[in-house]
Amino acid sequence: MGGTGPGRVLGPAPRRWAIGPLLGLLVVAGVCTAAVPAQRGFQARVAAAAPAPRGNTDTAAAARLTAVRTLLDRRGAALLRHDRAGWLAGVDPAAAALRTRQAGLLTNIAAVPLGAWRYTVEPGDQAGRIERGGSWTVLVTLHYTLRGVDSVPTERPVVLTFTARAGRWLISADDRTGPGGSTTWRGPWEHGRLLVRQGRHSLVLAHPANAGRLAGFVAVVDAVVPRVWQVVGGRLPTRVAVLIPDDQKEMSALVGGHLVLGTIAAVAVADSVDTARDRAVGQRIVVNPANIDRLGALGRRVVLEHEVTHVATRGFTGPAEPIWLVEGLADWVGYSDSGLPAHQVADQLRAALRAGGWPGKLPVAADFRGDSPRLALAYEEAWSACRLIANRVGPAALIRLYRAVGTAADPAAALDKQLRATLGEGTAQFTASWRASVRAEFG
């Protein structure tokens, strides 16, 4: 079967393969995190490159900016109060298809508990791009929060084209390529009507096709969140948001089109991460509808506990945190109350040891790509390394080590230092200890 990897069998038992097809979360975080500074950088460039406006041009541009900002302020307020007329008042009547989609968006999002929804046009974006006929295409930032999930608004790019109609600037398109190659981010509400189910620790969103899954996901997330919070500690959101897209196209739109999704069961994404403030913004767990049913109930629980661990640790996971620590910790937490014996979790490791030639190296980012032939093995290697640390010095020390490395300026040096302080051996010696322990336990 495409993408499931050689030698892996799809069956009903919650074997290690069931968890193998998880994404290297750091890859997603890295890309998503990079998107925000890249936009800011772009804005700065546009500001620098834009010719200084003069005279009438200056006045007209300032008036246009004021009009557009006013329109966007009204639009945000209208969406929050479900005011259909107010929401559509800013859309060009001549843009029939856009009006239909915008009306649909308001219906689709009606049940979603939004805390904030507003737009800004940053100073650097004012240059925008003038099209034939005088339309103005500009990069706008959407700021929104899901209540109980987001402590601060997350920021997403929206490219809007404004056209003057009878002296008013109205939105005439949202599908153009904006300045710097930017394109509009489309949330789950642009893919169909959303049904919402909230639990004590969960906010689950799905379209009607997946209505039957809502209660089950609420129950699982509510069950795993307290346990993850207990292990990880720190500053944590009230609720974790879970999105269930209808298909792979929507899944790609929500997690980024660069991911190979064939073997991935779920992905945890964030829009930005600031380890200095221990803060990750816009965190969502996105479930892959194509693969989640391949897991049994226990497998689904382990997958969600794995992803919730990423949510809990993301604020102190820097882009250079070793991926074996990121995925290993999530898998270790996910499995540690699963009741699965270690030799069953280490299915691929045992097979690799039996076959001979196991390299015994801590896995790197390439091993966690969705199309990596050693994806499942890499998860087990990472899991076993984190489990070894937890078994030797306890879970709290493992979390402290993870945090110290993830927030360090030089993670490689920090890892060596932390391993010495925690286990009394540096990275090379720890790797040798881990290799020996894996051979002793699973060989």
List interacting residues with Zn ion (CB under 5 A). Answer: 22, 25, 327, 330
Nearest to 188 by CA among 74, 286, 304: 286
* DSSP per residue, 236-283: --S-EEEEE-SSHHHHHHHH-TTS--TT-SEEEE-SEEEGGGTEEES-
Cα–Cα distance measured from residue 367 to residue 323, given in angstroms and rounded to the nearest whole number = 10
Nearer to Zn ion, 127 or 228 (CB): 228
Nearest to 194 by CA among 206, 186, 184, 185: 206
Nearest to 39 by CA among 186, 108, 140: 140
Cα–Cα distance measured from residue 87 to residue 99, given in angstroms and rounded to the nearest whole number = 10
Q: What residue is closest to Zn ion based on CB?
A: 25
Helix (H, G, I), strand (E, B) or coil at 151: coil
Nearer to Zn ion, 141 or 384 (CB): 384
Cα–Cα distance measured from residue 438 to residue 346, given in angstroms and rounded to the nearest whole number = 9
Nearer to Zn ion, 155 or 307 (CB): 307
Shortest distance, CB of residue 151 to Zn ion, whole angstroms? 23
Q: What angle do CA 435, 384, 13 make, to 5 degrees?
A: 130
Shortest distance, CB of residue 20 to Zn ion, whole angstroms? 11
Pairing of strands 284-287, 240-244: parallel
Q: Which two tokens stand for residue 363?
A: 């896995």
Nearer to Zn ion, 72 or 330 (CB): 330
Shortest distance, CB of residue 310 to Zn ion, whole angstroms? 6
Nearer to Zn ion, 25 or 302 (CB): 25
Pairing of strands 136-146, 129-130: antiparallel
Shortest distance, CB of residue 342 to Zn ion, whole angstroms? 19
Left if phi > 0, otherwise alpha if psi is -120 to 50, otherwise beta: which for 167? left
Nearer to Zn ion, 90 or 334 (CB): 334
Nearer to Zn ion, 150 or 327 (CB): 327
Nearer to Zn ion, 89 or 365 (CB): 365
Cα–Cα distance measured from residue 351 to residue 256, given in angstroms and rounded to the nearest whole number = 33
Shortest distance, CB of residue 309 to Zn ion, whole angstroms? 8
Shortest distance, CB of residue 330 to Zn ion, whole angstroms? 5
Q: Which two tokens stand for residue 118?
A: 């507003």
Neighbours of 9 (CB within 10 A): 9
Shortest distance, CB of residue 4 to Zn ion, whole angstroms? 18
Shortest distance, CB of residue 102 to Zn ion, whole angstroms? 36
Which residue type is seen at 331?
A: D
